[in-house]
Amino acid sequence: MSPRKVVNTVSTDLSSSKILSGLFLAESGYFTKRKTFQEILETTHEMRLYYLVSGKGVIHLAGKTHTIQQHDVFFQPKFTPLQLTINSSVPAEIWWIDFYGPAVDSLMNKLSITNTHPLINGICEPRFFQELKTIVIHYDYLSAADELHIASGLNKIFALLLESCSSSQWIAVPHDNENILYTGHWKPWPAPIGDAHEEYYTAMPKAYAEYNFYGSGIKWLGTVNHDCGKADVLIDGIYQTTVDTYSPVRLTKQLLYINSKLNYGHHIIKIFCTGTKNDKSINCDIVIESFQYFLSSSSFEGNEGDLNTSTQMCRKAVELMRSSAHNMTVDKLAKTLGVSRSYLTVKFTNEVGVSPSQFLIQIRMENAKKLLAETDMNVSQVASTLGYTDVFYFSRLFRKRENLTPTQYKKLTHKK
CATH number of domain containing 86: 2.60.120.280
Domain assignment of residue 338, yes or no: yes
Do strands 92-100 and 47-54 pair parallel, antiparallel, or not at all (unpaired)?
antiparallel
Q: What per-residue confidence (pLDDT) applies to 62?
A: 85
CA–CA separation, 57 and 84 (whole Å) = 7
Same domain, 196 and 264: yes
Domain assignment of residue 380, yes or no: yes
Which whole-number Å values give the CA distances from 144 to 23, 140, 289, 336, 376, in the listed order?
16, 13, 45, 60, 52
Domain of residue 344, residue span: 300-413
Same domain, 197 and 319: no
Same domain, 188 and 128: no
Domain endpoint, select from 164, 191, 218: 164
Domain assignment of residue 7, yes or no: no
Domain assignment of residue 223, yes or no: yes
Domain assignment of residue 2, yes or no: no
Greatest CA separation for the chain: 71
What does the pLDDT look like over 285-307, one tens digit per residue?
999 999 988 765 444 544 444 44
Same domain, 118 and 248: no
Q: Indicate the pTM of the whole model.
A: 0.51
The enclosing domain of 282 has a CATH number of 2.60.120.260
Same domain, 160 and 190: no
Domain assignment of residue 263, yes or no: yes
Residue 218 in 3-state DSSP?
A: strand
Same domain, 135 and 231: no
Q: What per-residue confidence (pLDDT) applies to 3?
A: 55
What does the pLDDT look like over 355-399, one tens digit per residue?
888 888 888 888 888 888 878 889 999 999 988 888 899 998 888
| C-alpha gyration radius of the chain | 23
Q: At what angle do helices 309-323 and 330-337 cross, to 10 degrees?
A: 130
The enclosing domain of 391 has a CATH number of 1.10.10.60
What does the pLDDT look like over 161-181, one tens digit per residue?
887 664 446 777 889 888 889
Residues of the chain with pLDDT under 70: 1-21, 138-141, 164-169, 191-197, 295-311, 413-416
Same domain, 278 and 182: yes
Q: Cβ neighbours of residue 47 under 8 Å, at least 6 residues apart?
A: 75, 76, 77, 78, 98, 99, 100, 104, 108
Residue 318 in 3-state DSSP?
A: helix
Same domain, 21 and 152: yes
- State how many domains the chain has: 3
Domain assignment of residue 375, yes or no: yes
Q: What per-residue confidence (pLDDT) applies to 416?
A: 43
Same domain, 53 and 113: yes
Do strands 47-54 and 170-174 pair parallel, antiparallel, or not at all (unpaired)?
unpaired
Same domain, 199 and 61: no
